[in-house]
């Protein structure tokens, strides 16, 4: 780092002089600018490490990309913001406040759940309203839900607060965590655990679907993921004004405020290594730079198979990852409509007639089901600025098998599936939907693969099952190349905004320890 760069770091509000001295001359590269990558970059830059983020696409965000079309704003990926404190901490590290860059808005209800028979269920953390909703389905399940929430609180403490931001460096670290997880029956599925507390089948679906939002099958995903209910109950569900993309933009703004460097629209093609060290990062444009440490927020398979293709370690890990189970992909229809729809809440889950059978089709059978569950996102009911005046922005998301299970010609399938989804929304919510469409486009598994280097088009990286968790998931620091790190959905603890932000905290802790100048303050 040159002298000007040192002055740039120490001159920014909140950069602790002692930290600046401890990390003087240290540099790091973060490949990818998703939530995990930006959270890691902010933590490193906040400590005085000269950090460069390199993003392959034309704007930051990774899966939190966005499009502007015909006056509408369409978020590409995450739309549910939970646990705001994990984000606020990124600003607080240097004495700033998230409100300087992002306006967070409460969303109520959290979700409206709808079944083909017309049943609606509004899910929120308003205890009185929620108990009334449960009683409509089955009065006896009100007490069962209360017991389930107690269970959710216990696994939240064990799985999220204690372990969510801690790296698992060896198998022993996993064994230390095992007794508490065994006590909470972590081997059981979320659906199985929910079913032990409530009797009504609709309520079982309502309390287990959340794992789908992080790529997990409720029938297989560890019951530890029931912690999501406690997370939402305490922290609520939020929206960033202007879209989730504005949260990314705020993170970028804060990172640059601290002196960080963004390099956008220039894919990394190789991380060069020498022995057990990553030495240099090379991009498609020909840019090359040496760094003391390199962290990848890219797809985990891409991080090894492609970025480390010149090393034996890259080939070895790619082979190992190829034997693992990856989460499904998604098919998403983005559309703008004439009119406003105050009766359609911000988040809806439209369940299909089947639950387990549909999940089997997605996770096991690799077929396009004739029926499907839809997550409907309607941000303009909270934030009208996402569309031109008098119009509304929507996206309808359907989980589908990844390309390894379902190798289809998506150019042929996409228009048909798009029409089926819009037809279903017409039947259940908006009868004249086709007449009201102003603009629309869809995003398929092939797009996840092409735009995000997602292995087999998986939307959430490794499947979140118990045998691919903690030490058995991607490690926050590589076991061989000791200055190559990972952050994001394929890494402990997993997908979702709190998950990848937690992985950034775990990875940052390792990097700060490794990069400290010995003998410095």
Peptide bond into 493 cis (omega under 30): yes
What's the pLDDT score for residue 227?
87
Cα-Cα-Cα-Cα dihedral sign, residues 35, 385, 239, 349: negative
Determine the Cα–Cα distance for residues 509 and 476; give it in Å rounded to an integer: 10
In a domain, 137, yes or no: yes
Judge if 262 and 315 occupy the same domain.
yes
Rounded to 10 degrees, the C-alpha dihedral 268/269/274/277 comes to: 30
What's the pLDDT score for residue 9?
42
Bridge-based pairing of strands 261-264 and 50-55 is: parallel
Judge if 449 and 502 occupy the same domain.
no
Smallest CA-to-CA distance from 110 within 265, 231, 10 is with 231
Judge if 128 and 220 occupy the same domain.
yes
Judge if 273 and 383 occupy the same domain.
no
Judge if 316 and 333 occupy the same domain.
no
SS3 478: coil
Q: Which residues does residue 437 pair with via DSSP β-bridges, in sequence order? A: 337
In a domain, 449, yes or no: yes
Judge if 89 and 58 occupy the same domain.
yes
Last residue of a domain, one of 235, 268, 300: 235
What's the pLDDT score for residue 188?
83
Judge if 228 and 246 occupy the same domain.
no
Lookup result for tokens 């804060």: 254
Give the total number of structural domains in the chain.
3
10-residue stretch averages of pLDDT, the chain, 521 residues long: 36 68 92 98 96 97 96 95 95 96 96 97 94 96 95 82 66 65 75 95 95 92 86 93 97 97 98 96 97 97 97 96 95 97 97 95 90 96 98 97 93 96 97 97 97 96 82 87 95 89 95 78 40
* Other CB atoms within 10 A of residue 343 CB: 9
Determine the Cα–Cα distance for residues 123 and 17; give it in Å rounded to an integer: 47
Bridge-based pairing of strands 293-296 and 27-31 is: parallel
In a domain, 274, yes or no: yes
Determine the Cα–Cα distance for residues 86 and 245; give it in Å rounded to an integer: 17
Q: Domain range for residue 476? A: 21-66+81-102+241-324+463-515
In a domain, 147, yes or no: yes
Judge if 438 and 476 occupy the same domain.
no
Determine the Cα–Cα distance for residues 496 and 270; give it in Å rounded to an integer: 27
Judge if 209 and 118 occupy the same domain.
yes
- DSSP notation for 210-247: GGGGGT--TTTSBGGGGHHHHHHHHH-EEEETT-HHHH
Last residue of a domain, one of 433, 455, 477: 455
> Cβ distance 485 to 307 under 8 Å?
no
Name, in order, each residue with C-beta under 8 angstroms of 224's C-beta and a sequence gap of 6 or more: 155, 158, 159, 181, 184, 186, 466, 469
- 250: its two tokens: 């705020």
What's the pLDDT score for residue 519?
45
Determine the Cα–Cα distance for residues 252 and 262; give it in Å rounded to an integer: 8
Judge if 364 and 469 occupy the same domain.
no
- 259: its two tokens: 């002196």
Its pTM stands at: 0.93
- Distance of alpha carbon 364 from the chain centroid: 23
In a domain, 477, yes or no: yes
What's the pLDDT score for residue 3?
33
In a domain, 15, yes or no: no
Judge if 298 and 362 occupy the same domain.
no
* Other CB atoms within 10 A of residue 480 CB: 15
Judge if 306 and 410 occupy the same domain.
no
SS (H, E, C) 415-433: HHHHHHHHHHHHHHCCCCH
Name, in order, each residue with C-beta under 8 angstroms of 420's C-beta and a sequence gap of 6 or more: 372
CATH of the domain at 368: 3.30.519
- 400: its two tokens: 């589908």
- Distance of alpha carbon 105 from the chain centroid: 19
Q: Please give the helix or strand (H or E) that residue 204 lies within, else none.
A: helix 201-206
In a domain, 6, yes or no: no
């Amino acid at each position: 780092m040159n002298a000007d760069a040192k002055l740039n770091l120490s001159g920014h509000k909140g950069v602790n002089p002692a930290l600046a001295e401890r990390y003087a001359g240290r540099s790091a590269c973060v490949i990818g600018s998703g939530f995990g990558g930006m959270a890691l970059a902010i933590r490193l830059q906040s400590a005085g490490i000269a950090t460069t983020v390199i993003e392959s696409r034309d704007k930051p965000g990774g899966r939190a990309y966005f499009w502007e079309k015909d006056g509408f704003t369409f978020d590409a990926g995450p739309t549910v913001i939970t646990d705001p404190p994990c984000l606020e901490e990124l600003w607080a590290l240097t004495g700033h406040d998230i409100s300087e860059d992002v306006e967070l808005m409460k969303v109520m209800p959290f979700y409206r759940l709808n079944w083909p028979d017309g049943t609606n269920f509004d899910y929120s953390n308003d205890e009185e309203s929620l108990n009334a909703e449960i009683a409509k389905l089955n009065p006896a399940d009100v007490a069962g839900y209360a017991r389930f929430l107690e269970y959710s609180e216990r696994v939240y403490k064990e799985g999220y607060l204690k372990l969510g931001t801690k790296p698992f460096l060896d198998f022993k670290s996993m064994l230390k965590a095992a007794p508490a997880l065994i006590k909470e029956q972590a081997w059981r599925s979320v659906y199985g655990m929910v079913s032990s507390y409530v009797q009504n089948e609709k309520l079982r679906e309502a309390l287990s679907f959340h794992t789908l939002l992080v790529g997990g099958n409720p029938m297989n995903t560890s019951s530890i993921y029931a912690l999501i209910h406690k997370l939402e109950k305490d922290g609520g569900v939020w929206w960033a004004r202007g879209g989730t993309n504005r949260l990314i933009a705020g993170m970028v703004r804060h990172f640059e405020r601290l002196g960080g460097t963004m390099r956008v629209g220039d894919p990394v093609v190789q991380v060069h290594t020498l022995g057990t060290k990553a030495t240099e990062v090379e991009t498609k444009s020909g840019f090359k730079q040496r760094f003391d440490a390199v962290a990848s927020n890219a797809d985990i398979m891409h991080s090894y198979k492609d970025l480390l293709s010149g090393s034996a370690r890259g080939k070895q890990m790619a082979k190992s990852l190829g034997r693992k189970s990856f989460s499904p992909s998604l098919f998403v229809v983005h559309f703008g409509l004439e009119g406003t729809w105050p009766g359609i809440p911000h988040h809806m889950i439209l369940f299909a007639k089947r639950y387990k059978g549909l999940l089997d089709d997605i996770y096991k059978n690799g077929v396009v089901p004739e029926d499907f569950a839809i997550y409907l996102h309607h941000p303009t009911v909270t934030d009208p600025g996402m569309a031109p005046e008098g119009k509304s922005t929507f996206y309808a998301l359907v989980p589908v098998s990844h390309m390894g299970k379902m190798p289809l010609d998506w150019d042929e399938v996409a228009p048909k599936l798009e029409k089926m989804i819009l037809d279903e929304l017409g039947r259940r919510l908006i009868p004249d939907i086709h007449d009201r469409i102003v603009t629309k486009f869809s995003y398929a598994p092939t797009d996840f693969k092409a735009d995000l280097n997602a292995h087999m088009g998986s939307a959430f990286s490794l499947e979140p099952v118990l045998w691919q968790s903690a030490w058995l998931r991607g490690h926050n620091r590589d076991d061989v190349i000791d200055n190559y790190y990972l952050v994001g959905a394929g890494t402990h603890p997993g997908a979702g905004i709190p998950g990848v932000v937690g992985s950034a905290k775990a990875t940052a802790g390792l990097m700060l320890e490794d990069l400290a100048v010995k003998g410095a303050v």
